[in-house]
Amino acid sequence: MNDKKQGYIDENAKRPRQHISRLAFLLAGLLIAVTSVSLVFVGFIASRASTQQAVANEERLFRSTLSDRLRAIVRDQISLTSSDRSVQNLVRQFNPEFVRKSFEDLWSEHRLSKVMLISGGDRVLAETFEDYTHIIERPVAETPGLEVIVEKLKVMYRRNRVRVPGGFGHRSLRGIDQSEYAIMGFLQIDGRPALFGAMPIVPDDHAVTQPDGPPTILLSARYIEGKLLKRLNRQLNFSSLAFVSGPRDRENGPFHPVLDQFGDPIGIFQWDSKTISTSIWPTIIPVIAVLSIALAALAFGIAWRIGQLTTSLQSSERQNRYLALHDSLSGLSNRLHFNRMLENAVSSLPASPFAVLHCDLDNFKPVNDTFGHATGDLVIRNVATRLKDAVGEKGLVSRVGGDEFMIIYHGPINKAHLTRLGTTLIASVCGPIAVSEKDTVNVGLSVGIARAPGDGATAEILVGRSDQALYQSKIMGRGQVSFYSDLQESSSEPKLLAQMPGHFQRQARGG
């Protein structure tokens, strides 16, 4: 009887223990399941955040590059749109031969897809079809969206014009953003989507004045097609960059919409993002399976994966920061980086004096004309390396324009030392540059120097005065080193130059 009772008690004691054991296994299984689901959720969020950040970075970089391309269109035409001769021959009177010659020059130098001359009376007076100029008179309304551009430019022109003896002039373009005197954007031209830049024709030296009334306008455009896409992608290195016409809903992946002047969609730029095409799920699923057996293995897998994602994001951030601050052709600092470093240097004055060297290549245009722009790019890269080697660790060499370089030099700034440095720069650039197995080319260099704080204590003044010194080197026969401090106060040329926009100073130098 006692044996039976003891057996009954032992059996009843086992049942709670078995129940607790099953509950423990159940809780352990539930914990593993919750942990696995949590990992799946974390992996999904991390993957989506990484993808969204990478796509946002790519889209931001594309917008910046596209904006630079739009501004380049305005820069390409500004030698014609800001000129006393243009006002005389296109506004005061209509000179067909001047139109043909000017449009032909724009085509030969920049290969613009379309150039249109629009009168103050809203009539198209001339337009190009590639290298052919057609003198015609038709209403702007025949080109959808063109009326909106013309009306906006009229308002902008009235805001910028100034009254001068004999008529009207235009405020100086020097130091103001292009968006204050020009309109840039997208337009359907001849049924084809295009990037455009348009601005009124205004005087530069004011030897000729504008008549009263609305302005005469020049519009330049590039069709959004293969050549433009290749040129954009040389800076971006995106995969499968393409343009798709017509309205489109947002799809997965990075894209940039294009709207016309009415706000209607023209199409979208789209490309394949490497982040989207690389799936992380084949890596996470095996980790989850391992976690079901051992939580320690799961913890290691999470840490490893997060480390990979962080490294990828940091690498992407570093690359984007580098691209934002460096010239993609030469590898030197770009204008944005130069301006930041110049402001930093100015903030250290007078404790830390420095010099600004303004350099411009001589005889570079014949290289492009003779051998092509690919050879010109090779020459720019070679010159950039030579300048950087010559300056060394004491200076920052930047490419701020096509064949224009600027240097912030923190070494000795006495005149003798800077003269030797300038001479060294000229000598290093003047050496032969091999452009093929048989051909070499030679370019020269002119240098203008402004010293801080003696020649100025602000970034704008130092850049302007080094530019004036560079102009002095040009008019002295090129291949020279000039100091702003040596310019005579009574010299008419520096005074005239100081009143000229920076673009026209470079035009006057004829680099």
Read off the pLDDT of residues 115-133 as tens digits, 9 standing for 90 and up: 999 999 999 999 998 778 9
pLDDT of residue 317: 79
* pTM of the entire predicted model: 0.49
Where along the chain do its domains lie?
A: 74-230, 335-509
Top pLDDT among 284 and 268 is at 268
DSSP secondary structure, 21-84, as one string: HHHHHHHHHHHHHHHHHHHHHHHHHHHHHHHHHHHHHHHHHHHHHHHHHHHHHHHHHHHHHB-H
Top pLDDT among 422 and 317 is at 422
- CATH number assigned to the domain covering 74-230: 3.30.450.20
CA gyration radius for the chain? 32
pLDDT of residue 5: 43
pLDDT surpassing 90 at residue 432: yes
Read off the pLDDT of residues 366-381 as tens digits, 9 standing for 90 and up: 998 888 989 999 999 9
Read off the pLDDT of residues 442-490 as tens digits, 9 standing for 90 and up: 999 999 999 999 999 999 999 999 999 999 999 999 999 999 999 855 4
CB-side exposure of 19: number of CA atoms within 13 Å? 6
pLDDT of residue 499: 43
The topology (CATH level 3) of 335-509 is Alpha-Beta Plaits (3.30.70)
Top pLDDT among 63 and 316 is at 63
Answer whether 156's CB lies under 8 Å from 183's CB: yes
Name the residue among 184, 140, 180, 185 with its Cα closest to residue 161: 180
